[in-house]
A = this chain, B = another copy of it.
């Protein structure tokens, strides 16, 4: 057996919670975990230059198989020398499999054992994705971590639907593994499904862990279910996953879910939340979320967050960013995106330090009191 492309090293576990401080080694550098991964859906983190994303400390970004398959097409990116070169990002890249996007298309797609037929959201053309195709695309993209082609089932859903879907996802994972040959440079992660049914989660975990993959993600959570239910299911999910592999909770990017996930021994997260809300004028600050459109910021010449050291906070006031937003200038999205990504990346750095010092619970409490308990904004 050759050395796998991606390995996980556990450095420390928080004494009280067991929260994990580790490192994911990839062909494009190490990733300190727990980590939040900024999303660059269409081969760009929206409104950001890659150097800016690097400067704030990001060691890995996520990009999307579905979008890049449809536009510009993975063959073009392969010819360009792969996604890293194409988009000028020399650190690690994780690509999702397209499963989540395809299943989000609703009536525009049809699932069979072979794969999913769907219509492109861009031009309505007929398209088909399968486990083999998803691996082919991600091989062309050259991501360090490729995700298995799965079905992210909706919530709520009948047990029978979830059971069928989960088992098909497990069969698809085996097909992904069989189709994946570039194992020394790209790692394939499996995805656990099973909806909110704990026994199905367990079955899913056993099936995918059996395939001995370099990493596992938990899919199908944070899809509309109540937070308590999500956390209850998550508690169980993590138990079933091996300790020596990285664990990735998909689609999670608000501070509370990041804390809850880390507390439950998750290592990796991604979400469009910080970049998307930035384009709607929302900023995450150490005192909670603020809406820059608010009239009270019209003459507020202080930065978005007094405690923040990001580019936006070092150089611009709320009054300026509010003006840029109201005036329809890209500058608003550029500054708010920078700030929100910086906020989450530094939040994760704070969590890592707290784990190292066995004070994760205290760090979480201090953060919650300021972020969620303060009614200043």
What residues make up the interface of A, taking CB atoms closer than 8 Å to B?
Answer: 42-44, 46-47, 49-50, 67, 71-72, 76, 79-81, 86-88, 298-299, 301, 311, 315-317, 319-320, 322-324, 326-327, 329-331, 333-334
CB <8 Å contact, A86 and B320: yes
**Cβ–Cβ < 8 Å partners of A331 in chain B:** 44, 46-47
Q: A71-B323, A320-B87 are in contact. Are A76 and B298 (CB under 8 A)?
A: yes
CB <8 Å contact, A80 and B320: yes
Instruction: Point out which of A47, A81, A298, A333 has the most chain B C-beta atoms below 10 A from its C-beta.
Output: A47
Expressed in whole angstroms, the Cα–Cα distance for A87 and B330 within the complex equals 14
**Cβ–Cβ < 8 Å partners of A47 in chain B:** 330-331, 334
Expressed in whole angstroms, the Cα–Cα distance for A80 and B321 within the complex equals 12
| Sample of 13 more A-B contacts, CB < 8 Å, known A86-B319, A87-B320 | A43-B320, A43-B324, A44-B329, A46-B331, A49-B334, A67-B327, A71-B323, A72-B326, A79-B299, A80-B319, A80-B320, A330-B333, A330-B334
A329 → chain B closest CB, angstroms: 5
CB <8 Å contact, B315 and A88: yes
CB <8 Å contact, B330 and A46: yes
Expressed in whole angstroms, the Cα–Cα distance for A44 and B322 within the complex equals 13
CB <8 Å contact, B324 and A80: no
A3 → chain B closest CB, angstroms: 31
**Cβ–Cβ < 8 Å partners of A317 in chain B:** 80, 86
A303 → chain B closest CB, angstroms: 12
**Cβ–Cβ < 8 Å partners of A50 in chain B:** 315
Expressed in whole angstroms, the Cα–Cα distance for A229 and B31 within the complex equals 64
A41 → chain B closest CB, angstroms: 9
